[in-house]
Chains A and B, each alone.
Chain A
Amino acid sequence: MKIEIADSKGMKILSISGDIDMHTSPDLRRELMGLVHKKMTPILVDFGSVTYIDSSGIATFVEGLKGMMAYGGKLKLVGIPPKVMEIFCFAKLDRVFEIHGSEEDVCNR
C-alpha cells in the first residue's frame, strides 16, 4: 500500500493505492490520525487505486470519522472501487460516510 498526501483547494487529499490490511492499516492510521489530531478539514480520501480492504482498514476509517466528528470535520471518500464499496455496504457504512464518485464531484458541491 502507498499513501500520497496533497493539498488541493483547501482540502487535504490522501490518495491510497494497493491493499489495505492488518499489515498496512497501521501506516494508514498514522497518516489519517495525524491529520485528525491537527483538526484538518475537509479530508478527502481517494480510493481509486485501492485493490483490497479488510476490517482493519474499515476500522481505521471509522476511527478517523469519529475523531473528525468531535471537531465538526468532514471526511469524504471518493472513487471507491465496487469490490471495496461492497464491504462498506455490508458493514452498513455507506450511509455513515460521505461518499462521492470522484474528486470533481466533491469540488462541484
Chain B
Amino acid sequence: MGGMKDSAVIAVPSNPKYLSLIRAVTATMGEIYGMAGPVIEDVKLAVDEACSNVMKYAYRGDTSKRIIIRFVLKKGFEVIIEDNGIKAQPELIEGRSLSDVRPGGLGIHLIKRAFDVFAFDEKKKRGNRLRLIRHRGESDEDRDSRQ
C-alpha cells in the first residue's frame, strides 16, 4: 500500500436498510488495506454492530437522522463513526457475559474482538464520535505477502 494514506467517507441515513451498504464499503476498504478474508468478515460485522447501536440507542429508531462513517487506512485500519444523537455512556456499555444465554449484549463483544481501540471522543459536544482502530497484525498481512 506504500506510505500513501487511503481514506473514504460515507454519510447514510440512520435506517437499518443501509447496513448492507455500510458492510459493503467496510469490506472494500478492508480489501484495499490488504486484510485477509476472515479478518474482513470480523471487521465488517463490528462496523455493522457499531452502526446498529447508533440507530438503536443514539437515534432510538429515528430513521431520518444521519450517520457519518470515515475510514482511514494508515498504520492501522481506523473507522470513525459520528452521529448527532443521544450521548453514549461508555461506562455503562458492557456486553453480557458470554455464558449468560439471553438475547442482546453480544454486539459490543463482536466490536471489541475486531478492533484494538474502542473509544468515544470526549471532545465532541453533541452526539457521538466513536473511534475504532485495528492495528496491523500478521493476519492483516497474509494477503499482502501472497500478492
Contact = CB atoms under 8 A, between A and B. Distances in A.
B8 to A, nearest CB: 21
Given A55-B49, A90-B113, A92-B99, A21 B104 contact: no
B101 to A, nearest CB: 5
Interface of A: 19, 21-23, 52, 54-56, 58-60, 62-63, 66, 83, 87, 90-93, 96
A91 B20 contact: no
Given A22-B16, A22-B19, A56-B52, A62 B110 contact: no
Given A21-B16, A55-B107, A56-B52, 16 more contacts: A19-B20, A21-B48, A21-B52, A23-B17, A54-B48, A54-B49, A54-B110, A55-B104, A59-B103, A59-B104, A59-B106, A87-B45, A90-B98, A90-B109, A90-B110, A92-B99
B16 A55 contact: no
A43 B144 CA distance: 45
B41 to A, nearest CB: 6
Contacts of A52: 23, 45
Contact of A83 (B41, B101, B102, B113): B41
A91 B48 contact: no
A58 B106 contact: yes
B20 A55 contact: no
B75 to A, nearest CB: 27
Contacts, number: 62
Interface residues of B, number: 25
Contacts of A19: 20, 23
Most buried by A among B55, B56, B110: B110
8 tightest Cβ-Cβ pairs between the two chains A and B:
A59-B103, A23-B16, A55-B106, A55-B107, A22-B16, A22-B52, A62-B103, A63-B103
Contacts of A83: 38, 41
Contacts of B55: 22
Interface in B76-133: 98-99, 101-104, 106-107, 109-110, 113
